[in-house]
Amino acid sequence: MKRRHWSHPSCGLLLLVAVFCLLLVFRCSQLRHSGDGGRGAAAAAPDGGAGRNDGDDVDERLVELAAVDPAASAVLQAAKKLLEGNLARAPERHRDIALRGLREWVGKQERFDPGVMSELVELIKRPIDRYNGEGGGGEGEGRRYTSCAVVGNSGILLAAEHGELIDGHELVVRLNNAPAGNGRYARHVGARTGLAFLNSNVLSQCSVPRRGACFCRAYGEGVPILTYMCNAAHFVEHAVCNNASSFSSSTSVAAAAADAPAAAPVIVTDPRLDALCARIVKYYSLRRFARETGRPAEEWAQRHEEGMFHYSSGMQAVVAAAGVCDRVSVFGFGKDASARHHYHTLQRRELDLHDYEAEYEFYRDLESRPEAIPFLRERDSGFRLPPVAFYR
């Protein structure tokens, strides 16, 4: 039987068909992996990010734009004016302490240093250890917490019962005095609190400098407070709360101060940490704007009120925890159409000065590919991030 020979045109046609099929299979595979609903590393990067090396997808132009922070500049200028005026708004008995804190804070504003991550144990944990009587050079001195739970305030917390899991961490961090520990919320948010993270606006609302009274210790006198300064004038409230116990309206301030044990410290975040958080969030917001609008990132300020734009308290609490903990678990960060903005209030609307979607992209990278986060990469900060897990 004579063997059939294919003509050259037939061979070429078959080869083209084969190549087309291979390309189709490859394209379908790409689409399948990129359609994970934003949960994987590919969804977090502007162009998928798959297969890239350490930091290859970091846009250096966005890094430059993220370094511009009009809000921080305005706060610093206001702080310098307060110093020039000798912090006149402060009551006399608190002025020296407030001025000392303000001067130290202003003095640290001049340089950007991601290496502050390596100093957070000294800056945050060491004062807490000393208050707890653990600062005498013993075994635990200088060590990080073995595990930390950062509990956000999102209404999604009420859809799960993570309370026992939260309380099982060595340190539990809560935000802006959200309630915990009572029968209504304990099974969802836990009962223990080891550190309260407050922005200074909250601190200013729960203290009365003229009376020397602080009502900010929602979790008890023995729970330390970590606060970042939204307004330099709030060093007055910091001085009050760092040197006074909580007083009821019917209690004599002098009598209460004489009888009460020393309250836990109120620690101000290092300005270098503030600047680091600001740059990270602005980078992710710039990147999201450019990707979703197709417009140059330089036009980002037209969408956001640049002088008011700021990271959320929760975001900074997570970054701070990453600096002092060997393992970080995060609860109550995120949103759902059926959930309130806060689990303990009726608020549903988000604040315009935050870009929560950009922060969620940061969290996805923090969990699954920390090497892609500008400023926090080990080669940028000299610091290796611990494992971070987000629970819904």
Residue 277 falls inside a structural domain? yes
Residue 8 falls inside a structural domain? no
Cross-strand pairs, 330: 150, 390
Beta strands in the chain (DSSP E): 148-151, 171-175, 195-199, 207-208, 213-214, 225-228, 266-268, 328-331, 388-391
Residue 24 falls inside a structural domain? no
**Which pLDDT belongs to residue 350?**
60
Burial 92-124 (b: 16+ CB within 10 A, else e): eebbebbbebbeebbeebeebbbebbebbbebb
**Which pLDDT belongs to residue 140?**
59
> In the structure encoding, which two tokens stand for residue 135, read together?
């600062």
> In the structure encoding, which two tokens stand for residue 284, read together?
């992710």
**Which pLDDT belongs to residue 24?**
45
Residue 76 falls inside a structural domain? yes
* Tally of structural domains, the chain: 1
> In the structure encoding, which two tokens stand for residue 3, read together?
């063997």
The candidate with the shortest Cα–Cα distance to 357, out of 312, 299, 298, is 312
**Which pLDDT belongs to residue 273?**
97
In sequence order, what are the residues at sequence separation of 6 or more whose Cβ sits closer than 8 angstroms to the Cβ of residue 69?
275, 278, 279, 282
**Which pLDDT belongs to residue 184?**
81
Q: What CATH number is given to the structural domain containing 188?
A: 3.90.1480
| Residue type (1 letter), 167 | D
The candidate with the shortest Cα–Cα distance to 152, out of 371, 341, 355, is 341
Residue 304 falls inside a structural domain? yes
**Which pLDDT belongs to residue 83?**
94
Pairing assessment for the beta strands 225-228 and 388-391 based on DSSP bridges: unpaired
Residue 255 falls inside a structural domain? no
Residue 45 falls inside a structural domain? no
- For the chain, give percent helix, strand, coil, nearest 5: 50, 10, 45
In three-state secondary structure terms, 388 is: strand
What is the C-alpha separation between 168 and 81, in angstroms, rounded?
46
The candidate with the shortest Cα–Cα distance to 326, out of 277, 384, 240, is 384
The candidate with the shortest Cα–Cα distance to 84, out of 103, 101, 108, is 103
Longest CA pairwise span in the chain (Å): 115
**Which pLDDT belongs to residue 135?**
65
The candidate with the shortest Cα–Cα distance to 95, out of 240, 252, 270, is 240
> In the structure encoding, which two tokens stand for residue 101, read together?
């804190």
What is the C-alpha separation between 34 and 112, in angstroms, rounded?
35
What is the C-alpha separation between 106 and 126, in angstroms, rounded?
22
Domain with 296, as residue range(s), is: 56-246+262-390
H-run or E-run covering 96? helix 92-107
**Which pLDDT belongs to residue 27?**
45
**Which pLDDT belongs to residue 312?**
94
Residue 42 falls inside a structural domain? no
* CB half-sphere exposure, 49, CA atoms < 13 A: 23
**Which pLDDT belongs to residue 254?**
42
pLDDT in tens, the chain (392 residues): 333 333 444 444 444 445 444 444 444 444 333 333 333 333 333 333 333 444 456 899 999 999 999 888 999 999 999 999 999 889 998 999 999 999 999 998 878 999 999 999 999 999 999 999 986 655 556 799 999 999 999 989 999 999 999 999 999 999 999 999 777 899 999 999 999 999 999 999 999 998 889 999 999 999 999 999 999 999 999 999 997 544 333 333 444 444 556 889 999 999 999 999 999 999 999 999 999 999 999 999 888 877 778 899 999 999 999 999 999 999 999 888 777 777 877 665 665 668 999 999 999 999 999 999 999 999 999 999 999 999 98
